[in-house]
Structure 1
Amino acid sequence: MSADTVGAQYVAEFIDGPLEGEFDHRALVGGKPEQRVGMVAAVDGLESLFWYDAVDEREVAGELRVRFSFDAGDSDPVESDDEND
């Protein structure tokens, strides 16, 4: 990673939903963090698409951090199918 790209990223912090507690380094878009991100994750072995919306942003130790909240309405359902286990 070059010095030019270090300042062109931020840390996304997922505060709820299926990715709660996860962090992701993401690139700034047009010099700004995204306001909405789609994340693909496996739940019970099935890939699902989860949408998150930016809640707020702050600087921590010189690094931009943006907190994202889960948008259950637009995301794939998160249901465990225990009958097939």
Structure 2
Amino acid sequence: MNAWLQAAAVLVTGAGLVSAAAAHRLTGDVRRALAVLLDFLTAAGLVRLAGAPSWDGILAAAAVIALRRLIGSGLAVSRAAP
């Protein structure tokens, strides 16, 4: 993997952690902060995939995106519950 892409993936992951902490601090809602963190982690995974595209990487990215969608829908359902 290209060193630039590896550094970019780490930077996106760090930005996700900071953004999730800021979202939690501003809204006080853990679910929204988790959604922000998962979006950034998905982006970091896609940046890493750009470096060395292989079937294993593609399957891992697809699994991360599917997990993100599953957790996101679970958060939406729990938010709608009384």
Scaled by the length of structure 2, what TM-score is found?
Answer: 0.25
Greater fraction strand:
1
Scaled by the length of structure 1, what TM-score is found?
Answer: 0.24
Greater fraction helix:
2
